[in-house]
């Protein structure tokens, strides 16, 4: 270990400064995103559940839920958000979505239909579509939140966090 030279100290200070500016420390942004997020998530759920009769749908709803969490991550920093959202719960979200979709898709075989034939279930087609929409929204939001937060923070081990 050689003693730090002026050059390396200056470089470390530069890195520390760039780390500090990467995360917004603005109370305005924090308060605004904290206030807006519940409404954005509610809008995403609304789009998912009412996509059968109104413009919208599961992909839109899931992406909007994910963008609300992205807003939180941009305002409060990716590292704290990654610690706040438990990774197994996030993985469980998209595994749950995939499982529901798979069970519905192949459950049609048990009722004597083809794969994904929704007309053979005892529930109405609209209810089955809503079930699948919830599954798609869970999968899409889980995948996008995971992509952004895990890519940005890398689980806080090795590499620098944003």
3-state secondary structure of 150: helix
Q: Which of 41, 66, 72, 134 binds another protein (CB under 8 A)?
A: 66
Q: Compare residues 3 and 21 and give the one whose CB is closer to another protein.
A: 21
125 touches another protein by CB under 8 A: yes
> Minimum distance from CB of 58 to another protein (Å)?
8
Q: Which of 9, 10, 15, 109 binds another protein (CB under 8 A)?
A: 15
- 24-63 positions binding another protein, by CB under 8 A: 47, 51-60, 63
Pairwise CA distance, residues 75 & 158, whole Å:
23
How many of the other CB atoms lie within 10 Å of CB of 48? 26
Query: Which residues, 6+ apart, have CB-to-CB distance to 77 below 8 Å?
Result: 23, 162
Stretch that binds another protein, among 2-10, 11-19, 26-34 (CB under 8 A): 11-19
CB 65 within 8 A of CB 134: no
Ordered DSSP codes for 7-64: HHHHHHHHHHHHHHHHS---HHHHHHHHHHHHHHHHHHHHHHHTTTTSS--HHHHHHH
Report the interface residues with another protein, using CB under 8 A: 14-15, 18, 22, 47, 51-60, 63-64, 66-67, 70, 73-74, 78, 87-88, 91, 94-95, 97-98, 101, 105, 115-116, 118, 124-126, 129, 132-133, 136, 139-140, 142-144, 146-148, 150-152, 154-155, 159, 162
């Amino acid at each position: 270990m050689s003693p730090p030279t002026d050059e390396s100290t200056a470089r470390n200070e530069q890195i520390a400064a760039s780390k500090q500016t990467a995360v917004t420390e603005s109370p305005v942004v924090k308060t605004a995103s904290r206030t807006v997020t519940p409404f954005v998530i509610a809008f995403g759920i609304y789009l998912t559940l009412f996509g059968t009769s109104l413009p919208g749908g599961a992909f839109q709803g899931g992406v909007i839920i994910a963008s609300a969490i992205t807003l939180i991550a941009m305002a409060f920093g990716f590292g704290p958000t990654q610690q706040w959202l438990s990774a197994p719960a996030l993985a469980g979200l998209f595994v749950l979505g995939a499982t529901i979709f798979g069970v519905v898709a192949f459950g049609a075989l048990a009722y004597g239909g083809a794969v994904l034939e929704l007309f053979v279930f005892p529930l109405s087609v609209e209810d089955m579509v809503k079930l699948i929409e919830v599954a798609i929204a869970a999968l899409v939001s889980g995948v996008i939140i995971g992509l952004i937060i895990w890519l940005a923070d890398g689980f806080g081990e090795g590499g620098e966090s944003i």
